Structure 1
Amino acid sequence: MSVDLSKNNASLKEAWRDILNDKSDTNWALFGYEGQTNTLRLVSKGDGGINELKEDLNSGKIMYAFIKLNDPKTSLDKCVLINWQGEGANTVKKGICANHLRDIERFFSGAHLTYNARNEDEVDEDVLIDKLKKVGSEYSFKMKVEPYEPTLPVGTRYQKVNAVKEINSQERDKFWKKEEEEEKKRLEEEKKRKKDELLKMELAIAQREEIETKKREQEAELRYEKIDQIKRKEQESLKNETEKHVAPQKPVRASILKAQNNTDNTSNATVTSSPEPNNIEQTLSDDETDQFATIKRSPKDSNNQKTAETPTTMNLTENESETPKAAPFIEQTVQMLEQDFVDEYIYGLKDGYKARALYDYQAADDTEISFDPGDIITNIEKVDEGWWQGLGPDHITYGLFPANYVELIE
């Protein structure tokens, strides 16, 4: 709520004018609110100064004082508006009255300073005057002013200079000649200095370029050396890798071929022999000897062999049917041609060595087997130092292969 200044406007204005009037002795006036309203009224006024004002201040109320003080430094009367907020005043009332101060300052115009006080110790004349010095004018009307004296014209003995009369032409010519020589000398020295600086700069550039060239050559040599080392390592690695993957030389099969020829001669002799019982026994004995031959056929081919041998056996039976002692022997021969007996007894295909192929190998003839790297060869028999025989990866073909093309495994 705003402050009410209209109800007691006349009395408020009259007290304020008495303080501003130099002919009036009134130098202070105190204003307060009527009861609990916001209507401002005149409480008291006097001419006893600030000490008299302190006696009328109430610590439980919100009040406003307008006082005139004399500034000893400037000898001027200055006005101060005191915003008194007693320590015992209602807090809500303080908050409401805080909005009234601007309207009151506008109503009591002419105050040089607005001062906030809460107790009598803060309402001190020295404190107020000190604050007024900081905000007021420092001009003193009691200062002595010296009388003004008019300035008289200043006398002079100036005479105009005549350059033609005062300057000697000969001396002038000597002076300018000397200046020209000095300037010419200075230009020559400047030219020589620039030339020397240019030579020094070119020499420094040449030295720097030489150093940089040597450095680049050294770096290039180191780079080429590293490249050569890398190339040599790559060539060695490639060579080792090539040597590692190149299949070794196939061993000679001279001893095996010799054994094969002996076996073939023995077989031919058996076939051309007489079909007597004794010859049949001799043939059977040769077959038993053939089971230890170096070159063996696949067990899976035994069916074909059986088919090829059966007619011969039957012919022998027909030719020797007149001999009763040959029948049991022929029957025994047929039984020996059974597949299981051939696999186990004649060809000896029992669990033997196993090997893994290291290189690719293609059979040169029907007596050898073919395989690829990584294939497993089973039932191996070491028939020669450089040649072994075993069952191929297809588990059908049984034949020779180079021993240095494989490695044994468990």
Structure 2
Amino acid sequence: MAISFKKNEDELRKAWKAVIDDKSDTNWALFTYEKQSSDLCLLSTGDNGLEELMDELNVAYIMYAFCRVIDPKTELPKYVLINWQGESAPLSRKGICVNHINDVSNFFRGAHITINARNEDEIEPEVIMQKVSMATATKYSFKQRSEQVEDVKPVGTNYKKIQPHREINVNERENFWTKQQEDEKRRKLEEKKKLEENRVKMEKEQRERELKETKERELLADKKDEEILKKREAEKNAENAARNELSRRLSLGSHDSDDDETSIKRKQNEIAKERSEETKKLLSQRSVKNARALFEQNSAAGQLSTIKANADQRHENIEMTVPSQAVTSQQESAIEAENVESAQPEQEEHIENEEYVEEDDTEGEDDEFVEEEVYDVRQISQAMDAMRYDMKYSEPLEDIAEETEEGSEDQSTEKIFDDHLDLEKEVFSVLDQGLKARALYDYQAADETEISFDPDDIITHIEQIDEGWWQGMGPNGTYGLFPANYVELIED
């Protein structure tokens, strides 16, 4: 049920205007409902303030009070609207009138604060004045007159009219830009000079570094040439000594041939034994670490230089071996051709010594390969080549006698190169084939450190030096690296 102001509207407005009028003594007005209706009517008015208003409030009614108080901060009148709902008022009436406060506030306009109260403690004058004081933002007394302010004179100014021809000095402006241009030119010259100095310095350092590297290379080359000359000089001296010894023996006659043949055979046997022991040591000294180091070296950036150095060293060894072996072959052929009949017993004894050396080599190889150690093919090649050269004189003496001096030199040279080409295949054919695998795909070697194979080819002597790369002997007799995922192992 909505509240109604029409029945007593004139009376209500008259009382409200009396309260808001500063010249009127009335400072509060109290309103309530007529009996059980929704019509609002004037109950009473007064001029004694909040204390008098408290005496008029009834705990059994619902009332509205509009009063005027003086703000303690600003000393100006403030208007307060009080919504009184007595504690003893019927609950049904409270529920009906709970929303009427908005309509009452719109009818009695001008209230600064609205207070909802249910008992006298909530409308104590101190409580109401405290709320009024809190609602005021500033503290200023409008009734008290401020001190007389002296006459204010017009505010002066320093403004002056702008005159461009006076403000901007053309000469100064030109000087400024000229200075800026000169500074820029100076800066560019300094930068150019600095760059030139840096370039000269870098070129000088580069020349010094190149000269230093050139001197180091020349020293190394001279040292290497000196070593080669010493070796060749030693070989030449040995050849001259051998020729002199041969001439001396030939001049002594046939009565000394038996002693010469015996000493030669004994020397050959000693050399064969020494080289057999060297081969055993080489086989025993190699390990898996050397193979892994070889793999790392071949897969590194310096792979090509290492291969080239090894090839040069191998070529030098062959060149140094050919002359000495050719000369020795000629000497031995001449001696044996002259002493065919007297050298037959010594030949049989030499063959027995060779069998003994071969048995020792086989036993040494079996002992060493039990531990599956890896060996260096190039070093074994040199050792085995030397052994074959020493053992080749066990051929029939009739064949040696038939060889001419020129033919023996050519055949010895060709045999040495053929031995070096077929050495790896011969070495591995004598030894156990070790770990074997069958090729699943075809693979072409990227360089000379790798091997090539086709599907179903058998790869022997495999060493698993790495998870992705192994090394072993291919079907064509070459030994090198290959990818592990291209083959499958074969169990014996």
- Please classify the TM superposition score into its range, dividing by the shorter chain length: 0.3 to 0.5
TM-score, normalized by length of structure 1? Answer: 0.43
Q: Which structure is larger by alpha-carbon Rg, 1 or 2?
A: 1
**Higher helix proportion (structure 1 or 2):** 2
TM-score, normalized by length of structure 2? Answer: 0.37
